[in-house]
Amino acid sequence: MAPRLPTSKLHLIRDMIESRTFTTSQMAEEAECTKVTIINIRRNLRQFGEIRAPQTRIGRKRSVTPLMIKALCDHLSEKPGLYLDEMAVFLWDEFQTMITTSSIRRALVATGWSKKTARQRAKEQNADLRDYYLHNLSKFQSYHLIYVHESGCDKRVGFRRTGWVPLGKAPLQVTQFHRDQRYQIIPAYTQDGTLLACISLLYRCYCVRGLRSPASPALRKVARA
């Protein structure tokens, strides 16, 4: 087996091929190699953009091709909160190829993407209205104010709490805030303590003082009323 050409001669051959001023025989004579070597290097430059062809990967062929992962990353840049099964549907719609969720996860991790907690930003944000609200709020004293702290149980159709982004970045979702079918526990606070506890379901609100649980007898009694 003939020895490999040194890197300096490979670069020389590449420069001569790119200059397009030498014939194959002239390049082989100048680099002290065979014409077959020149032909192979020219083919590698045309197909792979490199002097040497990439190494053949051991194992079965990847199910997620570089073109698929690029299209998926572009899609995730617009919708970072997609679930893995939704990504599989996207790849099927675009490439007519069924990809497993585990393969998609491995491909994203290998590309340098990770799943992080997403920041939510409402489309309805308005700096002028916010300043106007603070101006009106300055007319009140602290004992006039009632603070409502809402915590609820979101379903999957609600806001996506996590999103896929490249390493070093944070996912941001700009969505229109809306009310959805969910349990909401809304206690009202004043500076003197709790004023009222409210539990709502399906846009209906049952208010009971001191209510602890949605499944309590007090809630069922109010719901039947």
Residue 66 has what pLDDT?
A: 87
Residue 223 has what pLDDT?
A: 41
CA–CA distance, 201 with 182 (Å, rounded to integer): 6
Structure tokens at 45: 């430059």
Q: Which of 109-123, 144-158, 175-189 has the highest mean pLDDT?
A: 109-123
Q: Are 11 and 30 in contact (CB under 8 A)?
A: no
Tokens 């893995």 locate to 84
For the entire predicted model, the pTM comes to: 0.42
Which spans in 32-83 are helix H? 35-48, 66-78
Residue 99 — pLDDT band, cuts 50, 70, 90? Answer: very high
Residue 202 has what pLDDT?
A: 42
Residue 128 has what pLDDT?
A: 86
Residue 106 — pLDDT band, cuts 50, 70, 90? Answer: very high
- The distance of Cα 133 from the centroid of its chain, to the nearest Å, equals 34
Question: Strand pairing partners for 148?
Answer: 188
Show me where the domains of the chain are located: 7-48, 127-159+181-224
Give percent of the chain above pLDDT 90.
23
